A and B are shown apart, each in its own frame.
Chain A
Amino acid sequence: MSLRARIAAVVLGLILMASLCADWIPGMSYAQQHRDATSAAPSLRYPLGTDDLGRDRLARLLSATRISLLLAAAAAVGALVLASVAGGVAGYCGGWLDRCIVRAIDLMLSIPWLLLLLAVRALLPLNASPVASLVLTYALLAALGWASPARVVRAGVRNFRNSEFVLQARAEGCTETRVLLRHVLPNLKPTLLAQFWTSVPVFILSEANLGFLGLSAGEPFPTWGSLLRELQSPLLLRPEAFAPAAAIAITLLCFKMVTPWGGSQV
């Protein structure tokens, strides 16, 4: 690991640690409203100031970091499970099943990701609770983000399908399902790990864009996307309002530097 990658890993670790201590570092809850300090400028008590409801921006930013990082990682795991099933079946079975899944992957990849998210988000109930809308947003990212990793998994499974250890497992009487689950998929661990590190930044950016347009988690839950909405009102445009954008940029830059392939798919 290069020095640059090590520094990035340390910064990423610090960001994660700070977000996990979100309830203790600022000393107040992200939802607590201070009516005596609405839209306050940065001060010792409120290092990043407060929003128009008097909520501490630092507390909200740290909680948003925790929610966005953890749920983006969970969504990436969900997307990889779907991708492993679809890509594994397509690559291992071949034939018409492979053609159908490849066509579905092509179709998913041919639609702009944000448009697809907007369309599917609009199909869901309007009056969902804040927790439900938060979970739904990330579940959608997982449900729609499987196509790209599925293509990679399919290629990997096709490589292993006729390899010697698979032939030996078949010769020893393993069923096809067992061969796929116990012998082929475990060998794809490095590929799946690489796809995980690529998917997390993509999901973070997607949620940020979706939140900015008002289609992510509902109030009072802070996510990076929902915090960025403050930038939409020019009267509230202060340097400290760009803190969530800076947090996203630093985190994604660290992801890009920490991954050996440079995170070029971000």
Chain B
Amino acid sequence: MGRGLRKLARQVGAVAATAILGGLLTAALVRNSPGADSDERLLDPRLDAASIAAIRAEHTNFLHAGFWRSPSLNRPISDLIAARLPVTLRLIGIGLLAAWGAALLLAILSRNAAFAGIAGVASACTLCLPSAVLAILVFSLGGPVGVVIPLVLFPRIFETVRNLLEHAYTLPHILTARAKGVSTAGILLRHALPVCAPELLALAGVSAIMAFGAAIPVETLCDVPGLGQLAWKAATARDLPLLVTLTLLIAIATQVVNAAADWLTPSTGQAA
């Protein structure tokens, strides 16, 4: 118990250190980056010298005002994030559930050669296309936007899960269980999956990060008003306060997810 609490405290400390260091680093980057003093509006050829000077001053004032307002959207960053977070969470949540469901199902069925072939081809095809192209293909065919993230995540999860299960099925205690006549479902649920649980938990954390990465082109191209689209708008408008705040938040969120997966791992491992 004491060891578990110490580990939890260490992970909370690591997340806090990430937040503090990341905050300091991003603030320094915003202030000192080569593009910090440039604004998209400055590219307008109709502007005269006085207007350019005024826009520069306005831009500098925004940067010095801190991380709380978005210069390009002229709204508090917290409002922007609060409005768009549920959309992204829903998209990512559905995507993760669908991708994990399909990957687990096909990895289990892949013990059959025909299913292994079909799943392998599907995995290879989706793995070799950029997520932006997958989004356009689904969008052009009139498919739901929610299908794209599972398509992006599926091959990455499927290949790892299939390899883990293949390895687990060669372990001596599973061979013994099979020799004793334990059913296929029993071997899978009571022996194979618990053996793979630590790696699967780690992969769950990584897949959440990948899901957000995939959400950026998907939300941008399919006009879904989520955090991914906000990040793209911030990047194209050079809204550095908004962009670095988003990056920092995502970094902290993924550290929390990874810490949670890491904290859960030993107990599952002992159970197995």
A interface residues with partner B (beta carbon < 8 Å): 103, 106-107, 110-116, 118-119, 121-127, 201, 205, 208-209, 212-215, 225, 228, 231-232, 234, 237, 245, 248-250, 252-253, 256, 262-264, 266
Determine if B243 is an interface residue (Cβ-Cβ < 8 Å): yes
Please give, as numbers and ranges, the residues of chain A lying within 8 Å of B251 by CB-CB distance: 107, 110-111
Shortest Cβ gap from A4 to chain B (Å): 11
Using A208-B132, A215-B236 as known contacts, say yes or no to A123 and B35 having CB atoms under 8 A apart.
Answer: yes
Determine if B29 is an interface residue (Cβ-Cβ < 8 Å): yes
B235 touches A121 (CB 8 A): yes
A126 touches B209 (CB 8 A): no
Using A112-B250, A116-B247, A119-B244 as known contacts, say yes or no to A232 and B216 having CB atoms under 8 A apart.
Answer: no
Stretch at the interface among B60-68, B109-117, B121-129: B121-129
Please give, as numbers and ranges, the residues of chain B lying within 8 Å of A264 by CB-CB distance: 159-160, 163
Shortest Cβ gap from B119 to chain A (Å): 13
B interface residues with partner A (beta carbon < 8 Å): 14, 18, 22, 29-30, 33-36, 38, 40, 42-43, 124-125, 127-133, 136, 140, 159-160, 163, 209-210, 212-213, 216-217, 220-221, 231-232, 234-236, 238-240, 243-244, 246-247, 250-251, 254-255, 258
A107 touches B247 (CB 8 A): no
Using A112-B250, A228-B130, A266-B127 as known contacts, say yes or no to A123 and B18 having CB atoms under 8 A apart.
Answer: no
B18 touches A107 (CB 8 A): yes
> For residue B36, which residue of chain A has the nearest CB?
A123
- B238 partner, pick from A103, A122, A263, beta carbons under 8 A: A122
B33 touches A112 (CB 8 A): no
A110 touches B254 (CB 8 A): yes
B22 touches A107 (CB 8 A): yes
Apart from A126-B38, A205-B130, what are 13 other A-B pairs with CB-CB below 8 Å? A107-B255, A114-B216, A118-B231, A118-B243, A119-B244, A125-B35, A208-B130, A208-B133, A212-B130, A215-B235, A231-B136, A249-B125, A264-B159
- B232 partner, pick from A111, A116, A213, A228, beta carbons under 8 A: A213
Q: CA–CA, A248 to B247, complex, Å?
A: 28
Please give, as numbers and ranges, the residues of chain A lying within 8 Å of B30 by CB-CB distance: 123
> For residue B159, which residue of chain A has the nearest CB?
A264
A115 touches B240 (CB 8 A): no
Please give, as numbers and ranges, the residues of chain A lying within 8 Å of B217 by CB-CB distance: 114, 209, 212-213
Using A118-B231, A119-B243, A122-B234 as known contacts, say yes or no to A253 and B34 having CB atoms under 8 A apart.
Answer: no
Q: CA–CA, A121 to B30, complex, Å?
A: 12
Could you tell me the dominant secondary structure of chain B's interface residues? helix
Please give, as numbers and ranges, the residues of chain B lying within 8 Å of A112 by CB-CB distance: 209-210, 212-213, 216, 250, 254
Interface-centre pick from B40, B130, B250 (highest chain A CB count, 10 A): B130
Please give, as numbers and ranges, the residues of chain B lying within 8 Å of A126 by CB-CB distance: 35, 38, 40, 42-43, 238
Shortest Cβ gap from B8 to chain A (Å): 17
Shortest Cβ gap from A139 to chain B (Å): 13
Shortest Cβ gap from B238 to chain A (Å): 5
Q: CA–CA, A205 to B134, complex, Å?
A: 12
Please give, as numbers and ranges, the residues of chain A lying within 8 Å of B18 by CB-CB distance: 107, 110
A119 touches B128 (CB 8 A): no
A122 touches B240 (CB 8 A): yes
A122 touches B35 (CB 8 A): yes
Please give, as numbers and ranges, the residues of chain B lying within 8 Å of A237 by CB-CB distance: 140
A110 touches B128 (CB 8 A): no
A209 touches B130 (CB 8 A): yes
Please give, as numbers and ranges, the residues of chain A lying within 8 Å of B243 by CB-CB distance: 118-119, 122
Shortest Cβ gap from B242 to chain A (Å): 10
- B220 partner, pick from A107, A213, A256, beta carbons under 8 A: A213
Interface-centre pick from B127, B159, B220, B239 (highest chain A CB count, 10 A): B127
B235 touches A122 (CB 8 A): yes
B258 touches A115 (CB 8 A): no
Shortest Cβ gap from B259 to chain A (Å): 10
B124 touches A253 (CB 8 A): yes
Q: CA–CA, A7 to B178, complex, Å?
A: 39
> For residue B129, which residue of chain A has the nearest CB?
A249
A-B contact pairs, 8 of them (CB 8 A): A107-B251, A111-B254, A205-B130, A209-B131, A209-B216, A213-B236, A245-B129, A264-B160
